[in-house]
Chain A
């Protein structure tokens, strides 16, 4: 069964704009991870946030975690056409077994 679900399913923006994707999950977690998938390729790890952390940054990426609401958000600032991809959150349901949502498809128009 899928633990996390991303929202929106699809997002279309212009280059330079910020992109925000959300992830909601059902049970307690040890950590939450965000991955990126380019068309026809495997997923690539972007960032991990632990259950006792509230915010984390990596380059143009900013991740927040609200364990009381069981939700996380991924913000990509100053988006580029190369950011076009699908983005997935992975949660472990407290078992350290990563399960994924259906992803958010992001299109950044040049």
Chain B
């Protein structure tokens, strides 16, 4: 298996633009997580899906952020409009068993820079 695949690897955009980050979880995994990593705040959980359904989105910073999981093999995280403070590395991770959430498999991340 190729592991969790994220795209793009790097994204540079200007303030106010829409940004869409993409994630393909490992086949057969039924839970998917989006995290954001910054030096100041560390690794923050944004949203968690189980069987394609959002279970906990309390970490989503504000209404500018939205996430979808239309099917078991694809998820998107959208920021509209983007702001410089959104600059961070965004990670997607999946787990085989959403009941216990043991052993997350992470993608390589998307480095987002908002100018």
Contact = CB atoms under 8 A, between A and B. Distances in A.
Contacts, number: 54
Interface string A23-47: 0000000110101000001111100
A2 B102 contact: no
A96 B108 contact: no
Interface string A81-106: 00000001010100011111111000
A48 interface: yes
B42 A102 contact: yes
B56 interface: yes
B42 A100 contact: yes
Contacts of A42: 4, 91, 93, 106-109
Contacts of B42: 2, 100-103
A25 to B, nearest CB: 14
B113 to A, nearest CB: 14
A23 to B, nearest CB: 13
B106 A48 contact: no
Nearest to A41: B108
A96 B104 contact: no
Contact of B106 (A31, A33, A44): A44
Q: Which 4 A-B pairs have the closest CB atoms?
A: A42-B106, A102-B42, A100-B43, A96-B101
Interface of B: 4, 33, 35, 42-45, 48, 56, 91, 93, 99-109
19 contacts: A2-B44, A31-B100, A33-B103, A35-B104, A42-B93, A42-B108, A42-B109, A43-B43, A43-B106, A48-B102, A96-B99, A97-B45, A97-B101, A98-B104, A100-B42, A100-B43, A101-B42, A102-B42, A103-B42
